Each structure stands twice: as structure tokens, then as C-alpha cells.
Amino acid sequence: MTLRSDAAEIVFEHVTKRYGGSDRPAVDDLSLTIPAGEICVLIGPSGGGKTTAMKLVNRLITLTDGDITIEGTSVMKMDPVELRRGIGYVIQQIGLFPHMTIEANVATVPKLVGWDKARTRERARELLDLVGLDPEEYAKRYPAQLSGGQRQRVGLARAMAADPPLMLMDEPFGAIDPITRERLQNDFLRLHREVRKTVIFVTHDIDEAIKMGDRICILRQGGKLAQYDTPEAILANPADEFVADFVGADRGLKRLGLRTLGEVDVLASSPSTNGDRRPEAGPDMSLRDALSLMLTEGSTELEVRGDDGGVRGYLTLEAVSRMLGEGRDEARR
Amino acid sequence: MSALAAAPLAQSGGPVIPNFGRGDDCIRNNGKFCLHWFLDNFQQRYLPRVGEHLKMTAIAIVIGFVIAFGAALIAHRHRRFELPFANVASLFYTIPSIAFFQIMVPITGIGWTSIEIALVSYTLLILFRNILTGLREVPGEVKEAAEGMGLTRRQILLRVELPLAVPAIIAGLRVATVTTISLATIAAFITPLGLGAPIFNAIQSGANTEFVGASLLAIALALLADVLIVLTQRVVSPWTRARRQSA
């Protein structure tokens, strides 16, 4: 069977991986369902088995116990080579083929699965375009002629070339400078909204996990599942001390970072009468930044602008603090 | 005085000493290198030797490469074979060359077979090491990406590992070829073949020009082969010259 669809649901059923000679499992009885089209971030301390868990999916590592299914078919029932050709694979060190041009790199999997030349070429160029590299300029270059960020864009294009329903990404932006990383993250999220694929994304950076994940799967030492939920829910209600520690003492702030001013209710009129020092902010600003702005400006409220630039309403410090509380109550029910 | 006295004798009774032709001063005085004589004798004395020399070298390199390549592929897949292969090749490499040619004579006789067995043996160590190193030095992440994308082991070898090993393989071919061209002159120790023949001949007769001419030709062949191989490498692996331009 070959994987061909827009996105695939992935189910881990009591998955265990024990490396030969070791009685402590690397992944221990992991069960989770990743809905089709979502980005699931695997995160945890080193030794948490996150990369192992990911590589069990394309069978670069063979599972010891349990099962992983893609759209209901067990990966163990598929030919590993066929399975991998249907799964996009991106790694931190990128692993572009240095002896092939950028276009040939991107065309790897289409060529393997027998697309004709014209279609392969067209697809490679389309993908370069999609990841923000001008095909005219870059198609005939070699990887050594690109910057790290550009190379990872090519790595992304190569992984998506044959339109796989599932992508595995192992710390894809881990070796890239912070500014380029942020740009790549944003571009990938935009791309993901266009081409909904199921993505398993490994990282050790909690901020990246919160930003990229529709769901986050936190693994603890020994490959045990600590918590699997949406970023919002994990930040609002960490399952235990370990998760609370892991997401950090500033989890409230991180949670505020998930919502923008455009998404929250605001007061129709200013509650204060002496609002001479009242900063203003547009709808795209996160609540976290809005809070920071109020604190910096020494103000207890903020004038919120709408998409059209006109005043939409007012947000107070109290309202922000109340929102944090509300979230927790809701999730506790 | 004696020269004057001998002259009429020579004229009347023909030369006692064989006549070497119109030899100019240079060749009569056995000068270090007489270009005239060299050029006059090139086609007749040297060209066939150059041909033999090239043939000797080419056969040795081709056979040596096939053996070393096969051995390197096996050692690449199964590490345990590396040491035995390398040891055998090293052993061959340590045998003094004159002795090696001589050792072969009672076994395979005087001729091409003996020469090639010795020459091939000397290529093995360099070729085996370079091919194996080339294959081993393919970055792990490149292989991981290839495997993760669904290339089979055979495809990884043919499409990724071997092309990436080409610079190392060709570097080995360069050294092996230049070494073999040089070593092949010693083959004339057992039978007059290749550019070694005029060299050995000149060592006996003390003819400087014959000696220097043959040596210069051997050097020229080695340099030419080297340049040709480097050019081939550039054509075959253009990516090695691609460096990051200020984008």
C-alpha cells in the first residue's frame, strides 16, 4: 500500500521500544491519536524518546511492542521503502545531497516513484516557489551555494515533493539562527494552512512547541507520556509537577502569547477618566505583548484598534488577569 | 698525433669502430642531454616504448581498480573484511619492486603476466584505501535522509554514496597512476618493455641522452596522466567546485 491522500490520521497504540540489551524502554507504552491535518509536537528532555517515537513511524527504528497505524493501516504491514516514500522526512542536519542540484534534490522522491520528467520538473519548481526560493535563481545551484536557512527550505520542499499525507520533522529549525528560524516557522505555519498535512514535529524548545503545535505531546525520562493536549490546555492545566516545570514558571505569559487582541472581548468605553497615558495596539498583537506594553508604559489599560485602524475598544490589566483565570476554570471542568 | 695517423687508415680500410651516423659534438662527447639526437631518434627508439609503457600502466590500473573496488564495496558493507584486505594490500606494497618483478619470473615467466601482477599489486593499497574512505566519509545525515525518503540500500550506494566518493576515488586513481607509470620503468629489469628499456640500456652503456630522454618521457607521461585525471574529476563531479557565492 502506498500513502496517498491529503492528510492521514496517525494512531499510536501502546507503542513500546526497547533497544537490544537494555531493559529500560526508550518509548514506554505510548498511546495517542493525531487527527488528520494537525501538527503534533513531540517534546521532552533528552532521553525522553521523542526522536525514537518519531522514527518508529517510518520504521527507521523498529518498534518492539504495540502498533502504529496510518489511516488504519499498521506500518508493520507495509514495505518500509514504500512506507517511507509516502512520508515526508525533514531532519535538523537537513541532509541534502551535495552532489545534486537543488532541483534534483527536490525531485528525489518523485523520481523514485516514477513520475515522468516534465511533471517532476514542474513539481520541483512549484515547490521551490512555495518555500520561497525563486526557481530561476536556485534550481540549478548546489547545496553548498546556499545559506543554512535556504538549505532547510530546500529540505522542506524535498520532503513535500511527492505530496505525502504525513510529514516527520526532527528538530528541523534547531540549527538555524533565531531570526531565520522565526521566519521559517512562520512560513511553515502559513504553508501548513494551505496544504493540510499531518505533521509530527520533534523539538526540545517549548516556545517552538507552543507556537507550532496544534497538540503537544510531552514525554518524560524513559519515554513515558506526561501529557498530550493542546498548547492552551497544557499551559492552563499542566498535568503534574514535571509538566509544570517543563513548560516553565512563565506558562501564564506563554498562554497569553497564544491569543491576539483581535480575538478577545474588549470594553466599549474606557473605564478610567484620566486616560492621558493610554497606549494603543493593533489586532495582531498578542495578549502577552499587550500586557508587556501596558507594564512598560505604566498604564492599566490599552486602546485596541480594529482591522480598519479605528478604535475597537479598551483592554484593562484586570481583564487580562481574569482571562488567565477563566481559562483554568474552563479546562478544569 | 695519433688521431692524425689513424685517419688515413680509417679512410682506407673502413671504420673499425661502428659508425653511429652523423653524431654531432654533443652526442660524441656524451653530453647530458642532446636534444637533436633525442628528436631524431624519438619515433624509432622511444615511441614504441611510450606505447608499451602506456599499455602496461593502463592494464595495471584497470585490473587494480576492479579488484580494489570490489574489495572496498565488500569492506564497506562488512567491516570485518577491512583489516584482512588492507593487510594483504599493505604486504604487497612493502615488497621491494625489483625483487617483486624478479620473484614473479619463475612463477609466471618473463613477460607481460609477471609485470602486470607486480604492477597491479602495487595499486591495490592506495585504491582500496581511497575508495573505502570515500564511501565511509559520506555524511551520516545524507545517508539518513536518503534512507528516510525511501531509497533502497542499492539506490543509496549507487545514487548517493558512490557519486559522493568520486573525488576520493579519483584522488586515489591519480596517485596510483602516477606511481604505476614510475614503477613500470622497473619492469624492464626482467624484459625490455616500456620506457625502462632505454633506461636500463643507458645504465649499461653510459649514454646520457638515452637515459635522460627516457626519464623525461616517463615524467611527462606521469604529469600528463595526472592532468587528464584532474580534468576528468572536474567534469564528473562539478559540485565539488560549487562554493557559496555571496547571495
Higher pLDDT residue, A112 or B25?
A: A112
Mean pLDDT of B191-201: 92
Predicted pLDDT at A40: 97
- Contact list in B for residue A60 (CB cut-off 8 A) is 144, 147-148
Higher pLDDT residue, A331 or A205?
A: A205
Shortest distance, CA B172 to any CA of chain A (angstroms):
19
Centroid of chain to Cα A273: 44
- Contact list in B for residue A87 (CB cut-off 8 A) is 148
Q: Does residue B245 carry a pLDDT above 60?
A: no
Predicted pLDDT at A329: 52
pTM of the model: 0.84
**A223 within 8 A of A49, measured Cβ to Cβ:** yes
Asked if the Cβ–Cβ distance from A108 to B155 is below 8 Å, we say: no
Residue B23: pLDDT band with limits 50, 70, 90 = low
Residue B2: pLDDT band with limits 50, 70, 90 = very low
pLDDT tens across B110-158, in order?
889 999 999 999 999 999 999 999 999 999 999 999 999 999 999 999 9
Predicted pLDDT at B22: 58
For B149, which of A84, A142, A150 is closest by C-beta distance? A84
Check CB contact of B167 with chain A, cutoff 8 Å.
Answer: no
> A304: helix, coil or strand?
strand
Shortest distance, CA B170 to any CA of chain A (angstroms):
15
Place of cell 553548498: A144
Q: What class has domain B45-234?
A: mainly alpha
Residue B24: pLDDT band with limits 50, 70, 90 = confident
Ramachandran angles phi, psi of A306, nearest 5°: -90, -175
Asked if the Cβ–Cβ distance from B145 to A99 is below 8 Å, we say: no
Predicted pLDDT at B15: 52
Asked if the Cβ–Cβ distance from A95 to B144 is below 8 Å, we say: yes
> A209: helix, coil or strand?
helix
Asked if the Cβ–Cβ distance from B163 to A85 is below 8 Å, we say: no
Q: Does residue A36 carry a pLDDT above 70?
A: yes
Size of interface A-B (CB pairs under 8 A): 82
Mean pLDDT score of chain A: 90
Q: Which of B135, B141, B147, B149 has the highest number of chain A CBs within 10 A, making it the mutation to test binding with A?
A: B149
Residue A122: pLDDT band with limits 50, 70, 90 = very high
Asked if the Cβ–Cβ distance from A89 to B148 is below 8 Å, we say: yes
Residue B161 to residues A64, A88, B146, B231, B233, Cα–Cα distance (Å): 30, 21, 10, 21, 16
Predicted pLDDT at A127: 93
CATH annotation of A10-249 = 3.40.50.300
Check CB contact of A218 with chain B, cutoff 8 Å.
Answer: no
Predicted pLDDT at A268: 82
Check CB contact of A83 with chain B, cutoff 8 Å.
Answer: yes
Name the residue in chain A with its Cα closest to that of B140: A95
Mean pLDDT of B172-195: 94
Mean pLDDT score of chain B: 88
**A32 within 8 A of A12, measured Cβ to Cβ:** yes
Share of chain A above pLDDT 70, in %: 95
Higher pLDDT residue, A264 or A90?
A: A90
- Contact list in A for residue B145 (CB cut-off 8 A) is 89, 91, 94-97, 155
Choice among A2-11, A196-205, B15-24 with the minimum mean pLDDT: B15-24
Check CB contact of B25 with chain A, cutoff 8 Å.
Answer: no
Asked if the Cβ–Cβ distance from A85 to B152 is below 8 Å, we say: no
Check CB contact of B245 with chain A, cutoff 8 Å.
Answer: yes
Predicted pLDDT at B3: 45
Encode A193-221: b = buried (16+ Cβ within 10 Å), e = exposed: eeeebbbbbbbbebebbbbbbbbbbbbbe
Fold classified for A259-332 = CBS-domain (3.10.580)
Q: Does residue B21 carry a pLDDT above 70?
A: no
pLDDT tens across A271-323, in order?
776 656 788 899 989 999 999 999 998 888 888 998 888 888 899 988 888 88
Shortest distance, CA B162 to any CA of chain A (angstroms):
10
- Contact list in B for residue A159 (CB cut-off 8 A) is 149
Q: Does residue B247 carry a pLDDT above 50?
A: no
Highest mean pLDDT among A125-129, A329-333, B20-24: A125-129
Angstrom distance (rounded) from CA A313 to CA A300: 14
Predicted pLDDT at B76: 96
Angstrom distance (rounded) from CA A294 to CA A300: 6
Of A146, A168, A158, A142, the closest CA to residue A54 belongs to A168
Check CB contact of A140 with chain B, cutoff 8 Å.
Answer: no
Check CB contact of A112 with chain B, cutoff 8 Å.
Answer: yes
Name the residue in chain A with its Cα closest to that of B238: A99
Check CB contact of A57 with chain B, cutoff 8 Å.
Answer: no
Place of cell 641522452: B209
Residue A333: pLDDT band with limits 50, 70, 90 = very low
Residue A282 to residues A187, A275, A312, Cα–Cα distance (Å): 22, 18, 9
- Contact list in A for residue B158 (CB cut-off 8 A) is none
Place of cell 649514454: B207
Residue B9: pLDDT band with limits 50, 70, 90 = very low
Check CB contact of A59 with chain B, cutoff 8 Å.
Answer: no
Q: Does residue A196 carry a pLDDT above 90?
A: no
Check CB contact of B246 with chain A, cutoff 8 Å.
Answer: no
Domain assignments of chain B as residue spans, ordered by start: 45-234
Name the residue in chain A with its Cα closest to that of B246: A145
Check CB contact of B160 with chain A, cutoff 8 Å.
Answer: yes
Q: Does residue A332 carry a pLDDT above 60?
A: no
Q: Does residue B177 carry a pLDDT above 60?
A: yes
Name the residue in chain A with its Cα closest to that of B166: A99
Pairing of strands A27-34, A280-281: unpaired
Predicted pLDDT at A273: 63
Residue B206: pLDDT band with limits 50, 70, 90 = confident
Check CB contact of B162 with chain A, cutoff 8 Å.
Answer: no
**B186 within 8 A of B56, measured Cβ to Cβ:** no
Q: Does residue B41 carry a pLDDT above 50?
A: yes
Type of residue at A272: S
Which residue spans of chain A are classified as CATH 3.40.50.300?
10-249
For B150, which of A91, A109, A146 is closest by C-beta distance? A109
- Contact list in A for residue B137 (CB cut-off 8 A) is none
Higher pLDDT residue, B178 or A7?
A: B178
